[in-house]
Amino acid sequence: MILGAIIAGGQSRRFGSDKALASVDGKPLLDHVAEALAAQTDAIIVVGRSWPGITSIADRPTLDQGPLGGLCAALHHAQAHGFETVLTVGCDILPLPAHLPALLAPGSAVVKGQQLIGLWRADLASALEDYLESQPDRAIRGWMATAAVRTVTLDASFHNLNTPEDLAAFTKDQAA
Ligand SMILES: Nc1nc2c(ncn2[C@@H]2O[C@H](COP(=O)(O)OP(=O)(O)OP(=O)(O)O)[C@@H](O)[C@H]2O)c(=O)[nH]1
């Protein structure tokens, strides 16, 4: 069973306002991601914020760990609820590529910047918690090396909406 986790507790500093709420085709960005993720997984959660209609959990071990704190919480939640793997995405990826569980073998991730699209074994939860408690820089690449996570490249194109300009470029692409 695969748990889909939207890692969504960021500050949206570059976007200038809460990007999860940004309207795309009349619907908040996070709802687009949630819909696409739900179609590829057995259940979904949101990590790092609350969202109507979706189970929400807080980062672990504390709230100031960055996206890996969101991943750590998702892995623990998955283990506690009988999911073997977790598919993570940010709340700012559009369109979410299809068939991610097939494209990402368990133990692989697409890492550009901090976007954290990955398919992770839930039993890495304790190892990640130990990593976060021992590594002050909380670097995603450092964690991937520690956990022997492979980096993969996806053929599918998608936008990582970090700024209003990214959103404008996505809208322009859609209209083309
Ligand atoms: N749960 C959780 N999610 C985070 C955290 N930091 C970032 N994210 C999420 O990770 C994804 C990628 O984050 P970024 O776009 O790099 O960070 P951001 O804080 O949202 O944006 P900036 O402030 O512009 O860097 C987004 O979906 C964020 O909401 C965090 O500390 N906890």
pLDDT mean values, one per 10 residues, the chain (176 residues) = 97 97 96 98 98 97 90 97 96 93 80 73 94 84 85 83 94 87
- ipTM > 0.95 (yes/no): yes
Return the pLDDT at 114: 54
What residues form the annotated binding site for Mg(2+)?
92
pTM here is: 0.95
Return the pLDDT at 121: 92
- Which residues, at least 6 apart from 172, have a Cβ–Cβ distance to it below 8 Å? none
Q: Whose CA is nearest to atom 12 of ligand 1?
A: 115
CB of 13 within 6 A of ligand 1: the answer is: yes
Q: Whose CA is nearest to atom 6 of ligand 1?
A: 10
Return the pLDDT at 112: 58
Q: Which CATH number fits the domain that encloses residue 65?
A: 3.90.550.10
Q: Which of 122, 121, 104 is nearest to 37 (CA)?
A: 104
CB 71 within 8 A of CB 4: no
- What atom of ligand 1 comes closest to residue 11's alpha carbon? 19
Its domain, for residue 119, covers 2-175
In the chain, the DSSP E strands lie at 2-7, 23-24, 27-28, 43-47, 55-57, 85-90, 93-94, 108-110, 117-121, 150-151, 159-160
d(CA 139, CA 135): 8
Tokens of 76: 């623990």
Tally of structural domains, the chain: 1
d(CA 114, CA 92): 11
